[in-house]
Structure 1
Amino acid sequence: MTEPIQDDPTVRPMPQAAQWSYLMDMDGVLVHEEHMIPGAGEFIAELNERGTNYVVVTNNPIYTRRDLRARLLATGLDIAEDRIWTSALATARFLHSQRPGGTAYVIGEVGLTTAMHEAGYVLTDRDPDYVVLGETRTYSFEAITTAIRLIDKGARFVSTNPDATGPSRQGLLPAAGAVAALIEKATGKKPYFVGKPNPLMMRSALRAIGAHSESTLMIGDRMDTDVIAGLEAGLATILVLSGISTLNTVEQYPFRPSLIIDSVADLIGHTADPFRS
């Protein structure tokens, strides 16, 4: 386990809580390229055995919670649907809070359209209240053109997440952030991104499981999304080195996580108090 040096003035003091709740990223924390990260199964099993409150938080808006549960099961991870929270669900909840029963033109897959319908939204291309951009493996030039024209006519522009690229076995794929930049360039209208690093994503996940920021920690593999989102939402943060960020990249940022570890395997046996030395 890699721990911050206690007398380093750049390191956040170790937080304390009677019982911790957990928010955690999925890719790079629990799985990597459709394979379970070693120790993730035992870590989740320990959380379940202790009755710990936790939720997996992902910027991926493509899949429903049921789909993601099935994909995790295929890797050997048994995580209940209600312990999964996506940027699609956070976006739908945000829009419902802003304009209940509204209308939207949506570019995205079933994870986003299902969340929007469940939030009471009508999906339409006729004078919608919002244009909502998610992610899809088949971005359509026609759909993007429609979005540009609707935004130009006054529809508000919202996107599920700011990720510019996503991974695939063949290499990088353009993601919502890249397509949003195209639409912004054409319309002059900036989107409102709901997903990480927006702390709104963290707060909506907290509400989904009834947890409080003072006693919740965020586990992530990226300084620029997971850690900063956790910090801005008032959470303790743990960076794992099993994904994107490394010890070298940590030094590029003016903020620090509460704890740095190699992977969630280091938390096995310490989930009650991961900050106890």
Structure 2
Amino acid sequence: MTEPVTWNYLMDMDGVLVHEEHLIPGADDLVKELRDKDIPFMVLTNNSIYTPRDLRARLHRTGLDVPEEAIWTSALATAKFLDSQRPNGSAYVIGEAGLTTALHSIGYVLTDRDPDYVVLGETRTYSFEAITKAIRLVQAGARFIATNPDETGPSREGVLPATGSVAALIERATGRAPYFVGKPNPLMMRSALRALGAHSENTLMIGDRMDTDVRSGLEAGLATILVLSGISTVETADRFPYRPTRTITSVADLLGTADQPF
């Protein structure tokens, strides 16, 4: 008789567990079930603004008890990637504490004097002066890295330009395309798997977007679950040439079956 698979979980944050500052019903119960059953899990986000400690506090305010070490950001994935490529290097950074803290933690020097890399992340205060500096450094030979390709981000007032939009501006001015580390690059999934100590064959990815979450999970060899509590709908999901392993209304549908979701 075949032994049942013991699953590990990778879960997107916005649209899966929370909407802005509001809990998605059932998300708290799912996290509790995962912890009670000792099922390994990691919460992923392409947002590079916040540190895992910041995000833990944000999630806690919504009622979610997620350990700091169970949060993986595109900033952390970017730092891991740069450490593997050029240890103890230097970077000119456009971004917030989530990104600068991650780069400091791997021994990187942040500088605007002949850096190895220009690293572009998320910020709510993109500066024309900083973008101009980045363009000149890329033109001078700095390698161009961006934490994620998301073109817009949410706010209470409406959409905001995000990393992908500013990266396009720099690319247009320099003729140099960035290397995006975050989703849908499966590198984000693989770095999260290593942080979790898990393998792709018994790990699933839960997300609300076909173009990032499901695609990156699929390309990293993971089972995928699409939730309809965020961006994607049944109609929009059907337009893609690939499909998730399973589609559910929200994570509440997994309650009671988290150890055997398929």
Give 4+ residue runs of structure 1 displaced > 2 Å after superposition: none
TM-score (norm. length: structure 1): 0.93
Partner of 2:50: 63
Cα shift readout 1:58-80 (whole Å, capped 9, x = no counterpart): 00000000000000000000000
Shift of 1:251: 1.1
Please point out which of 59, 76, 88 is paired with 1:89. 76
Q: Within 5 Å, give how 1:50-199 maps onto structure 2.
A: 50-199=37-186
How far apart, CA to CA, are the structure 1 residues paired with 2:248 and 2:5? 22
Structure 1 unaligned segments of length 5 or more: list them. Answer: 1-15
Tell me if the contact between 1:22 and 1:218 (Cα under 8 Å) persists in the aligned partners.
yes
TM-score, normalising length from structure 2? Answer: 0.98
The CA deviation at 1:119 is 1.0
How far apart, CA to CA, are the structure 2 residues paired with 1:106 and 1:21?
A: 33
SS in 2 for 1:56: strand
Partner of 2:249: 262
Give me the whole-angstrom Cα distance separating, in 1, the residues matched to 2:121 and 2:20. 21
Letter in 2 for 1:152: Q
Shift of 1:262: 0.2
> How big is each residue's C-alpha offset from its partner over 1:138-171, in whole Å with a ceiling of 9 and x where there is no partner?
0000000000000000000000000000000000
Tell me which residue corresponds to 1:13: none
CA contact (8 A) 1:17 1:215 kept: no
Identical-residue share of aligned pairs (%) = 73
Give the letter for the 1:267 counterpart.
L
User: Match of 1:212?
Assistant: 199
Aligned equivalent of 2:240: 253
The letter of the residue matching 1:77 is L
Gap regions ≥5 residues in structure 2: none
In the TM superposition, residue 18 of structure 1 has moved relative to its aligned partner by: 2.1
Q: For 1:19-30, what aligned pairs fall within 5 Å after superposition?
A: 19-30=6-17
Output the CA distance in 1 between the equivalents of 2:243 and 2:77: 26
Q: Could you tell me which amino acid in structure 1 is paired with residue 104 of structure 2?
A: H
Report what 2:217 is aligned to: 230
Please say if residues 222 and 243 of structure 1, whose CA atoms lie closer than 8 Å, have aligned partners that are also in contact. yes
Q: What's the secondary structure of 1:131's corresponding residue?
A: strand
Report the Cα distance in structure 1 between the residues aligned to 2:203 and 2:177, rounded to whole angstroms.
32
**In structure 1, distance between residues paired with 2:66 and 2:244:** 26
Q: What's the counterpart of residue 273 of structure 1?
A: 260
Q: How many aligned residue pairs are there? A: 260
- The Cα shift of 1:197 comes to 0.2
| Aligned-residue RMSD, C-alpha | 0.7
Structure 1 residues 17 and 138: CA distance shift in structure 2, 3 A = farther
Determine the structure 2 residue equivalent to 1:49. 36
Aligned residue for 2:141, secondary structure, equals coil
What amino acid maps onto 1:31 in structure 2?
A: V
Structure 2 distance, partners of 1:58, 1:205, is 11
C-alpha spacing 1:202/1:17, structure 2 compared with 1 (3 Å): farther
Give the whole-Å Cα distance in 2 for the aligned partners of 1:48 and 1:97.
31
CA distance in 1, matches of 2:54, 2:44: 14
